[in-house]
Amino acid sequence: MTYIMWFRQDLRLTDNPALSHAVEQGTIIPIYILDDENAGDRKMGAASRWWLHYSLTDLNNSLRDHLQFLKGDAFEIIKEIVNNNDVEGIYWNRCYEPWRIKRDKKIKEWLKEKDMQTESFNGSLLWEPWDKQIYKDDGTPYRVFTPFYRKGCLKADTPRKPLDRPDRIDYGDINLSGVKLEELNLLPEIQWDTQMKKEWHIGEEGARNRLVEFIENGLSDYKDGRNFPAQQNVSRLSPHLHWGEISPNQVWCAAQREGENKNTDHFMSELGWREFSYSLLYHFPDIDTENLQDKFDNFPWKDNKDKLKAWQKGQTGYPIVDAGMRELWQTGYMHNRVRMIVGSFLVKNLLIHWHHGEQWFWDCLVDADAASNTASWQWVAGTGADAAPYFRIFNPITQGEKFDKAGEYTRKYVPELKHIPDKYLFKPWEAPDDILKEANIKLGEDYPEPIVDVKASRERALEAFESLKG
């Protein structure tokens, strides 16, 4: 008997509940469908597509070249497969983006009408967002992280232990109107990916190696070290988790094996933030467009294309902001501390709507995630459920001085400031002329003058916030 295994954001063989179930039933046909039709405004960005191409290549190798690639409306494709072939059932791991939930429900109903065996599994979250154990006592979902995690997650059933990779997979043979991986056109037409290729080992093995490396070298100083972008204390597992090259259960259990201490606890709580973001996305499916606090609907955002562009390109004149934006552009990733700094700068110092930041990240991040990206942008903007208060405005100068004291991170991504002494690195406009000359810098030519005054823009942001109260 033949079963379809529909891979989605679970691009791995180990700890893949749907795959393990499918191979126990009989022979399988593994498929991947690129469904831009149902995604609507939430089509994957360029960096995500890039990652996906290599992740599918890796998965196909693990499946001994049996992965079938399809393109189009997943509902129509599945109908065609089922109507034209002798298959018994179809299995997949669940996704939680609102458009996918809607589409998958429709597909499941249709398959049930056809008497097909069909089942979906949890392959990407530690706790399902509808699990009542992670609800408040009054039966409503948490809107604040700490009680969600401490009273919900940590008191709920412990997450499932990871499943082994199937010992053996038998492949079936059916007629499919599949295409070649290259025909999914996931790679960019212009080559902007040279640095990105060097940065990542994409796929299941790369994810496993990353986890091992982090547990051995990063975890022991995670709690403090995670704030410093030049240090190797964060896992950089986010794209691997997003694409399901590793499951949160594998990561959670590996951390747990290291024993309880402030570093593992903190690391596990960050996985908790991922769960919290999914809970918010599930319960507030408009989170990508609507402020969770509706008082911000009247916020006087400013439209300023030039300033937005300067921010996107890492040309704001604030070195830590520019370093972050260039890290994003070159590697598809940005350190969390710097994500918060550049986010605050955009929405508070520039007063540009968080949607613009969210969309740029969506296009550029290899870990772009409908739950974590939107929830984090709302957090940064102060519009979210459990957000940093709007009046907490990161100062890009002191943040740089505090978290990149020796300037290692900033100089890496803003090499034109390589020779500026530490004292002026985060405020080069204050450097005397002879120092600038010695460092080979002409402000406004080699490196931009600041595009806003940090003090005045802070005051302006606070006034804008006050105006909401009136």
Q: How far apart, in whole angstroms, are the C-alpha atoms of residue 197 and residue 187?
A: 12
> In terms of C-beta density within 10 A (0-12 exposed, 13-18 middle, 19 or more buried), how is residue 468 classed?
middle
Report the residue number, 81 or 95, with the smaller CB distance to ligand FAD: 95
Catalytic residue among 329, 377, 379, 395: 377
Instruction: Please pick, from the candidates 274, 356, 411, 427, the single residue that binds ligand FAD as defined by CB under 6 A.
Output: 274
Q: What are phi and psi of 120, to 5 degrees?
A: -110, 155
The answer to whether 94 contacts ligand FAD (rule: CB under 6 A) is no
Residues 290-349 that bind ligand FAD (CB under 6 A): 336, 339-340, 343
Question: Closest distance between ligand FAD and the C-beta of residue 134, in Å?
Answer: 15
Helix (H/G/I), strand (E/B), else coil: 235: coil
Q: Which residue is it, tokens 């082994």? A: 164
Catalytic residue among 110, 192, 301, 429: 301
- Pairing between β-strand 2-7 and β-strand 68-71 as defined by DSSP bridges: unpaired
C-alpha distances in Å from residue 356, one per residue of 75, 176, 374, 452, 461: 31, 40, 11, 18, 17
The answer to whether 288 contacts ligand FAD (rule: CB under 6 A) is no
Interface with ligand FAD by CB under 6 A: which range of 42-50, 182-190, 369-377, 414-422? 369-377
Report the residue number, 70 or 202, with the smaller CB distance to ligand FAD: 202
Q: List Cβ neighbours of 125 (8 Å cut-off, separation of 6 or more).
A: 96, 248, 275, 278
Report the residue number, 272 or 428, with the smaller CB distance to ligand FAD: 272
Decide if 5 contacts 19 (C-beta within 8 A).
yes
Instruction: Please pick, from the candidates 23, 215, 241, 364, the single residue that binds ligand FAD as defined by CB under 6 A.
Output: 241
Helix (H/G/I), strand (E/B), else coil: 451: coil
Catalytic residue among 273, 290, 304, 416: 273
Q: How far apart, in whole angstroms, are the C-alpha atoms of residue 290 and residue 61?
A: 41
Neighbours of 4 (CB within 10 A): 26
Q: How far apart, in whole angstroms, are the C-alpha atoms of residue 334 and residue 323?
A: 9
Helix (H/G/I), strand (E/B), else coil: 141: strand
Interface with ligand FAD by CB under 6 A: which range of 98-106, 304-312, 365-373, 421-429? 365-373
Interface with ligand FAD by CB under 6 A: which range of 17-25, 126-134, 361-369, 390-398? 361-369
The answer to whether 93 contacts ligand FAD (rule: CB under 6 A) is no
Catalytic residue among 92, 252, 354, 362: 354
Report the residue number, 20 or 372, with the smaller CB distance to ligand FAD: 372
Catalytic, 252? Answer no
Decide if 247 contacts 162 (C-beta within 8 A).
yes
Interface with ligand FAD by CB under 6 A: which range of 101-109, 171-179, 273-281, 444-452? 273-281
The answer to whether 235 contacts ligand FAD (rule: CB under 6 A) is yes
Catalytic, 270? Answer yes
Binning the chain into helix, strand and coil, the percentages to the nearest 5 are 55, 5, 40
Sign of the CA dihedral running 318, 324, 326, 329 = negative
Instruction: Please pick, from the candidates 273, 283, 401, 462, the single residue that binds ligand FAD as defined by CB under 6 A.
Output: 273
The answer to whether 117 contacts ligand FAD (rule: CB under 6 A) is no
- Any idea which residues carry the catalytic annotation? 270, 273, 301, 336, 354, 377
Return residues touching ligand FAD (CB under 6 A): 226, 234-238, 241-242, 270-271, 273-274, 277, 336, 339-340, 343, 361, 365, 367-369, 372-373, 376-377, 380
